[in-house]
Amino acid sequence: MESTVSSSADYFPLVIQAVVALGFVITTLIVTHLWGPKIKSKTKNENWECGVESEGNARFPVSVRYFMTAILFVLFDVEVIFFYPYAVNFKALQLEGLLAVILFVVFFLIGFLYVFKKGALEWEK
Amino acid sequence: MDTGLIIEKSLLVLAVFGITLLIATYLTYFERKVAAWLQDRIGPDRAGPFGILQPLADAGKMFFKEDFIPRNADKWLFILGPGIAMFTALMTGAVIPWGPNIEAFGRSISLQIADINIGILFIMGVLSIGVYGIMIGGWASNNKYSLFGAIRASSQMISYELAMGISVITIVMMTGSLSLRDIVDGQHGSFGMGWNVFYQPVCFLVFFITALAETNRAPFDLPECESELIGGYHTEYGSMKLGFFLFAEYINMFISSAVIAALFFGGYNFPGMDAFSGNTLAILGTLAFFGKIVFFIFVFMWIRWTLPRFRFDQLMHLGWKSLIPISLINLLITGLVIAFNEGWF
């Protein structure tokens, strides 16, 4: 199938959609703020935390595994993004493109195996 | 761009917007009824006949609740979180082709808000911005449960996004286009049954599982698992800000079902569609598409009320160690099979 070129006019409806969505979100947030009751007291304004008295602040470092996941995601997501332009032109590039992408997938897999062997994907340790 | 087209697109935007909100509102009712049915209960039946007015009553209640912001919370981020979640959920519907073109007023009206050639990439991009809504909302609450919910949600969503991206690439390789309109038209086949699911069952399975994870639905609802994290990232929220998070989840569920139907189940194609033409085809096609969407929404709910929740390490292992390798191998096999069929060797 021929991929067509989009002009900026094709994106214009997205602007209308964004204006409608943003308008709805902002209006609703303002309206609910005005309508509801407003009762303030020192205890009521505390964080809830399951009814137990709140201990300390929630601004503390968490397990480094989450951070590792985020770093790995950035790495692999960039590689996944590289696939998209190839996939669109897959049938035009023919065998040469396929061999190149197989090489790319092999690199991808080597990196993946390295991460695997290093234990970056382990959660119970 | 002429005035007629702008009016046409504006009306279409408003129609899709209204339908999305209406469906999201009624999905809460549908979910409770399905849950009740699966658990042999009656479900909501007080407001109106069969409880049909229940979602409207719930929405009304949301509006009149106190708009509460905890003292320790970061005020503006606390407001921004649900705003982003709702905004991104509302944006995704823009590139989905809801049906074949309609002929009216001497022009051919496309039932797709924006037919851009990056369609599916647009959806993936907007979906990943949705992570920020949850992350910002949970962090700004300054509550440990919310923080854990938010961190779990973001690491879960980014992990599953990889497998989802690779399975979409497989479909793009078959179609040669990122536009959802092209992908749907490419599945026409004989009798309107050339659906991708028959060629790519593994890819469909991977995409479906990742869609469950991306929308934070059970068995992947760890960000808000009630038994350990109270409400997860929205523990501190109330009023319409809580409503936004919940609505965003239901809208995402609706859009995911639509994307699954469009990518794998032929969108508005249906068996025997060649017998119709013009506006009859457009209406029947749109109905077929919505039928498929409702079916997948039902499957989402069915799974939620059937399967128990994963543990977090199981969830990460499934995403990284199973789904990513499976989808990569599937991608390679697809490439080789297409190359063989086209006679490149």
> CA B59: distance to chain centroid?
21
Q: Residue B311: what pLDDT?
A: 81
Q: Residue B207: what pLDDT?
A: 92
Are A57 and B73 inside 8 Å of each other by CB? no
Provide mean pLDDT across the span B284-289. 88
A56 CB-near residues (< 8 Å, 6+ apart): none
Whether B62 and chain A come into contact, CB under 8 Å, resolves to: yes
Task: Give chain A's domain count.
Answer: 1
Bridge partners for B102 per DSSP: B109
Measured in degrees and rounded to the nearest 5, phi and psi for residue A44 equal: -65, -35
Evaluate if pTM is beyond 0.80. Answer: yes
Provide mean pLDDT across the span B261-269. 86
Indicate whether A3 pLDDT > 50: no
Nearest residue of chain A to residue B165 (CA atoms): A80
- Do B264 and B204 form a contact (C-beta atoms < 8 A)? yes
Structural domain range at position A89: 64-118
- Bond from prior residue into B219 cis (ω within 30 degrees of 0): yes
- Do A17 and B13 form a contact (C-beta atoms < 8 A)? yes
- How many of the other CB atoms lie within 10 Å of CB of A48? 19
Q: In A, which residues are within 8 Å of B161 by CB distance?
A: 73, 77
Q: Residue B111: what pLDDT?
A: 79
Cα–Cα distance for residue pair B339/A97, rounded to 1 Å: 10
A8 CB-near residues (< 8 Å, 6+ apart): none
- Residue A39 domain-assigned? no
> Which has the higher per-residue pLDDT, B101 or B204?
B204
Maximum average pLDDT range among A8-12, B30-34, B341-345: B30-34
A85: helix, strand or coil: helix
Q: How confident is the model at residue B208 (pLDDT cuts 50, 70, 90)?
A: very high
Whether B145 and chain A come into contact, CB under 8 Å, resolves to: yes
Indicate whether B197 pLDDT > 80: yes
- Residue A26 domain-assigned? no
Q: Residue B258: what pLDDT?
A: 92
Indicate whether A58 pLDDT > 60: yes
Are B64 and A39 inside 8 Å of each other by CB? no
- Residue A90 domain-assigned? yes
Nearest residue of chain A to residue B148 (CA atoms): A62
Q: How confident is the model at residue A14 (pLDDT cuts 50, 70, 90)?
A: confident
- Residue A2 domain-assigned? no
Q: How confident is the model at residue A2 (pLDDT cuts 50, 70, 90)?
A: very low
Provide mean pLDDT across the span A82-108. 84
Cα–Cα distance for residue pair A108/A113, rounded to 1 Å: 9
Bridge partners for B107 per DSSP: B104
Q: Residue B280: what pLDDT?
A: 83
- Residue A40 domain-assigned? no
Cα–Cα distance for residue pair B335/B203, rounded to 1 Å: 13
Q: In A, which residues are within 8 Å of B63 by CB distance?
A: 31-32, 35-36
What does the mean pLDDT of chain B come to?
A: 85
Whether B148 and chain A come into contact, CB under 8 Å, resolves to: yes
- Residue A73 domain-assigned? yes
Provide mean pLDDT across the span B144-160. 85
Provide mean pLDDT across the span B75-99. 88
Q: Residue A1: what pLDDT?
A: 39
Provide mean pLDDT across the span B148-173. 88
Kindly state the DSSP code that residue B96 receives in the 8-state scheme: -
**Run of H or E including B223:** none
Q: In B, which residues are within 8 Å of A13 by CB distance?
A: 9, 12-13, 94, 113-114
Mutate to test the interface with A, among B12, B14, B87 (most CBs of A within 10 A): B87
- Residue A105 domain-assigned? yes
Tokens of B119: 């369609």
- Residue A88 domain-assigned? yes
